[in-house]
Structure 1
Amino acid sequence: MTEPPSLKKEPIGRLISYIHRTQQKRLSRSLSEYGIGGGGQYSFLKGILMTPGTTQDQLTCNLKFDKATTARSVKQLEAAGYIERTTDPEDRRSHRLYPTPKALKFQPVLQAILDEGNAKLTRDLTDEEEDQLIALLQKLNLEE
């Protein structure tokens, strides 16, 4: 009896990086027609839709992006008409971020695009395998 060929064991970081880049390309293609670019802009828009009135600092912290990426994405989303900034009455140096009516109307479309992307990622997995993958990824220690 012959043994099955062994799978080449790829480094976990490389696999995760490849999956991330591939998913980002897919999402960028799907979102470009709506004026939402790369760099995770959809993550910022979703964060603002989920927590209207959040600040840039809160977004940076919650989404684990650097301040420059957050500032650039917020500026682009504002220019595209998806969000508006208002001065924080408690801290005049800070701004609160709110979704515009355009963003609220777009929210179900955004969610459908994100759901479709996740479905493509996991299309070859059973429900049990998908649950197991999520559990294993959540177990990884990503703290610095």
Structure 2
Amino acid sequence: MGKDFELENSYAYLIYKTVRALRKQFMRMAMEKGLELFPEQWFVLVKVIKQPGCSQSDLGRDFDDRPSMARALRNMEQKLWIKIVPDPEDRRKHQVFPAKKGIQIYNTLVPEIEKERSRMFKSLSTQDFTNFKRIIDEIYDQSIE
């Protein structure tokens, strides 16, 4: 059983290996800028900057991790990257806004990330990325069914 299975040809393994490499690369880049920042925190920060006032529950749903999101947001608020305020229309909810320090982090890292993307993706075409997005979306959709 499974005698033809080779880990090196497993798509799940290739995705896992790539995610780990990208995570390490991001953390190295952040550390070079004097930031202790994990990719997950970066994703949340970008979402909050692009959608100021989004709700804490929406972030938990978007990242499919509601229990961890509350803890992550508290941590980011303690670091002064974001502000969490009660929703004026529904006191049971909280809105999340970028703080000055969070915006500075964003403005520091975006040019570095863009430069690194250009380096890494220089041999890939727009069609490669169109195909990749379609394929990765299909894998994701099938994995959550």
Distance 2:13 2:105 in 1: 33
Which segments of 5 or more consecutive residues in structure 2 lack a partner in the other structure? 1-6
Question: Structure 1 residues 17-26 or 30-39, which shifts more?
Answer: 30-39
Contact (CA 8 Å) 1:23, 1:117: kept in 2 or not? no
Whichever residue aligns with residue 18 of structure 2, its letter is: I
Name which structure has the greater RCO, CA cutoff 8 Å, separation 6+.
Answer: 1
Query: What residue is the counterpart of 2:43 in the other structure?
Result: 43
Distance 1:29 1:71 in 2: 26
Query: What residue is the counterpart of 1:112 in the other structure?
Result: 111
Q: 1:109 to 1:62 in 2, by over 3 A?
A: same
Whichever residue aligns with residue 86 of structure 1, its letter is: V
Whether 1:70 aligns to 2:69 is yes
Query: What residue is the counterpart of 2:19 in the other structure?
Result: 20
Contact (CA 8 Å) 1:54, 1:98: kept in 2 or not? yes
TM-score (norm 1): 0.77
Distance 1:29 1:57 in 2: 30
Instruction: State the number of aligned residues.
Output: 137
Whichever residue aligns with residue 97 of structure 1, its letter is: V
Question: Structure 1 residues 111-120 or 91-100, which shifts more?
Answer: 111-120
Contact (CA 8 Å) 1:49, 1:99: kept in 2 or not? yes
Q: Deviations over 1:35-72 (max 9, x none)?
A: 342251000000100100011210121233x1233123
Shift of 1:23: 0.5
Distance 1:127 1:17 in 2: 23
Distance 2:69 2:107 in 1: 23
Supply the RMSD in Å over aligned alpha carbons. Answer: 2.6
Q: How does 1:51-90 map to 2 (within 5 A)?
A: 51-64=51-64, 66-90=65-89
Distance 2:36 2:134 in 1: 30
Which segments of 5 or more consecutive residues in structure 1 lack a partner in the other structure? 1-7
Query: What residue is the counterpart of 1:143 in the other structure?
Result: 144
Whichever residue aligns with residue 99 of structure 2, its letter is: T
Shift of 1:87: 0.9
Contact (CA 8 Å) 2:60, 2:67: kept in 1 or not? no
